[in-house]
A and B are shown apart, each in its own frame.
Chain A
């Protein structure tokens, strides 16, 4: 069965790019959320195998959304998507239970390596 992935990012460009990468790799993108607040609702609804989570987003930040999700499902697989220079935010996310992180700008192979490792 293919991996069911959910993408959380406020930028459509990023969502599309990730979606293309995942689809090409044979994963199924089951939900796309535009902000941290929608993320929790979508997570509850689709129960994905893995979530990619942007950090800086309107309404609720990626870290807050991460905590929401981990709070409901401690086993949730969440991979943070961060820009360069957000080291302390990534640290915070890791401490809060993120499984790994991807740094933008990213290469397709890197993204897939991380996602495959975390999902295995």
Chain B
């Protein structure tokens, strides 16, 4: 079978499992005897092992198996020892490199150095216990011998479904079900059961008990044990790997995996539908079609709703990028010798995937800064997210030493960034934002992790590029809060950039039919509204500058014309020049700019300057008297 088609899926799932492992391992280090977490980690390692083995990634599979065994040892001993915690994290790191190798199309690196590394785990013995299992893997003969000695135990635990059918007249089936469940629990791990425990505890009768079960015990032995129970008529075992996979992800049954580029296409198509709706409406206005208007209205509403829901499919939980933060805090804390706790609140809050992608690095940056510069010796770093209307508020907060606005003012003056009087005029909030100026840093030491300058300018730019804002709240000894206000989802649209009134302006590509370079001789300037002929049509020309309330510029020897349409009438917009085209995140404009006719939004340029997006439609509406065909004809009439 050709496995390459599953490669992408493997990579993305492995990534998810590794993120969870990282998070769990760090959490487990805080509470080393949390069996739930040990079990969860075990399942993650187990999933990776299974996937990698199926794909034929041998080193990945072996390493995952190794970690799985170590975790199984923890389950036996009931805790994760400190040395093992380190080794586990090393193992996860190594797994990550392997997955990266696979992603890059390189051969997996050799992991035997890790698998064979001597461990002094004599007190726990988790890794010591490994040797016989490994031997069994490598030499089938040894496995056979082991099996002979303990006939009830398979060399390796396996997961399957146990189906226990009760007799028709079984007495007290709920109690029987609970006893069977307990028996299974004594002999392995019950991943899930149907009916579940609560249902049986409530006394609901059952005819069958189905359990997803993982055990090292042999099936025929288990069957014997279970059939010895009163009223148990039949015991079946079902291999069901899909069920197992489905159980491991709680929602997996109700969700499907879709490639994200497909989702992006849905978003784009829905966006285009949205603009086509306007075109349709404009065209329908030309004639009186009974019924069409109402249908168009309804279609418009439906398309709007479709667009809204399609955008929602791109929402992903913050957790998907914040998953690595606990590990980062932990490692950094160790390196700097600080006691730093990490807390994530609102990890489930959904944010547009495109935004999340852009947010990942700034978040890591802020968290690193918090540990490195914010916290002195010990404290907490908290990342939280919450919805606020159509925005998401992401906050990175530390309980560290805080920042002094006054010190920042002084520093800005010392560095020559501001004059003393400029600095004095800054509010505290503005003073705190000084740290986002390129080259500005208050950390007196250069640390290995964040360096000097710490790239707050990059963080701020990234947030603003997404149409968000960055705010900083801090005071000496009161910790620091970085508030990132981000749009819930963003529209990416294609823009045509033109020059007008000496500045670049952008037109949505959906408003542009053609761009034309027109020799001045072809322009008829005899009437109030100049025009040119295109495909035997008379196209009125309107200077964009004039639409925007500026003086009408002189027509260049070669005029640049953007052909657009207003209610079915083609109109040429005269602009000062063509600059190019680009994709951009569109930010809505705030009050009072949003009241300006023709300004539909803005995008941030790479250098931080604002690029206004002009929608010519409302502007043309104001000027329509000048170029509507009948008007033009009237004017031309003798």
Contacts and interface: CB of A to CB of B under 8 A. Distances in A.
Given A91-B178, A91-B201, A94-B178, A113 B171 contact: no
A57 interface: no
A101 interface: yes
Interface stretch (A2-10, A34-42, A65-73, A82-90): A82-90
Contacts of B221: none
B175 A87 contact: yes
A100 B177 CA distance: 11
Contact of A100 (B174, B179, B200, B201): B179
22 contacts: A82-B172, A84-B171, A87-B174, A87-B203, A88-B203, A90-B172, A90-B175, A91-B178, A91-B200, A91-B201, A91-B203, A93-B175, A94-B182, A99-B179, A100-B230, A103-B171, A103-B172, A114-B230, A117-B228, A117-B229, A117-B230, A120-B228
Interface residues of A, number: 18
B230 A113 contact: yes
Contacts of B171: 84, 103
A103 B172 CA distance: 9
Nearest to B227: A117
A16 interface: no
A110 interface: yes
A116 B473 CA distance: 71
B175 A94 contact: yes
A101 B172 contact: yes
Contacts of B229: 100, 117
Interface in B189-236: 200-201, 203, 228-230
Contacts of A99: 179
Nearest to B181: A94
B369 to A, nearest CB: 52
A95 B172 contact: no
Contact of A95 (B201, B228, B230): B201
Given A91-B172, A93-B175, A95-B201, 4 more contacts: A87-B174, A91-B175, A91-B200, A117-B228
Contacts of B174: 87, 91
Interface of B: 171-172, 174-175, 178-179, 182, 200-201, 203, 228-230
Contact of A110 (B172, B201, B203, B230): B230
A103 B179 CA distance: 15
Contacts of A82: 172
Q: Which 6 A-B pairs have the closest CB atoms?
A: A103-B171, A90-B175, A117-B228, A94-B175, A87-B172, A94-B178
Nearest to B205: A87
Contacts of B203: 87-88, 91
A113 B228 contact: yes
A103 B167 CA distance: 15
B178 A95 contact: yes
A27 B248 CA distance: 47
A97 B172 CA distance: 16
Contacts of A100: 179, 229-230
A84 B172 CA distance: 8
A114 B179 CA distance: 12
**Interface of chain A, main secondary structure:** helix
A120 to B, nearest CB: 8
Contacts of B172: 82, 87, 90-91, 101, 103
A100 B176 CA distance: 8
Nearest to A85: B172
A100 B203 CA distance: 16
Interface in A104-120: 110, 113-114, 117, 120
Contacts of B200: 91
A100 B232 CA distance: 13
Contact of B179 (A87, A94, A113, A120): A94
A100 B231 CA distance: 12
> Which of the listed residues A88, A91, A99, A120 has the most CB atoms from chain B within 10 Å of its own CB?
A91
A113 B230 CA distance: 7
Interface in A13-38: none
A99 B176 CA distance: 10
Contacts of A88: 203
A77 B178 CA distance: 16
Contacts of B182: 94
Contacts of B178: 91, 94-95
Contacts of A93: 175
B367 to A, nearest CB: 45
A117 B232 CA distance: 13
A82 B203 CA distance: 16
A99 B175 CA distance: 11
A99 B229 CA distance: 11
Contacts of A91: 172, 174-175, 178, 200-201, 203
A96 to B, nearest CB: 11
Contacts of A103: 171-172
Nearest to B171: A103
A91 B177 CA distance: 10
A87 B173 CA distance: 9
A46 B179 CA distance: 27
Contacts of A120: 228
A114 B228 CA distance: 8
Contacts of B230: 100, 110, 113-114, 117
B174 to A, nearest CB: 6
A94 B182 CA distance: 10
A103 B230 CA distance: 11
A110 B230 CA distance: 7
Interface string A39-56: 000000000000000000
A101 B174 CA distance: 12
B511 to A, nearest CB: 70
Contacts of A94: 175, 178-179, 182
Nearest to B229: A117
A101 B175 contact: yes
Nearest to A86: B172
Nearest to B182: A94
Contacts of A90: 172, 175
A88 B175 CA distance: 8
B169 to A, nearest CB: 11
A113 B231 CA distance: 11
Contacts of B179: 94, 99-100
A68 B203 CA distance: 24
A63 to B, nearest CB: 13
A114 to B, nearest CB: 6
A110 B176 CA distance: 14
A110 B170 CA distance: 12
Contacts of B228: 113, 117, 120
Nearest to A113: B230
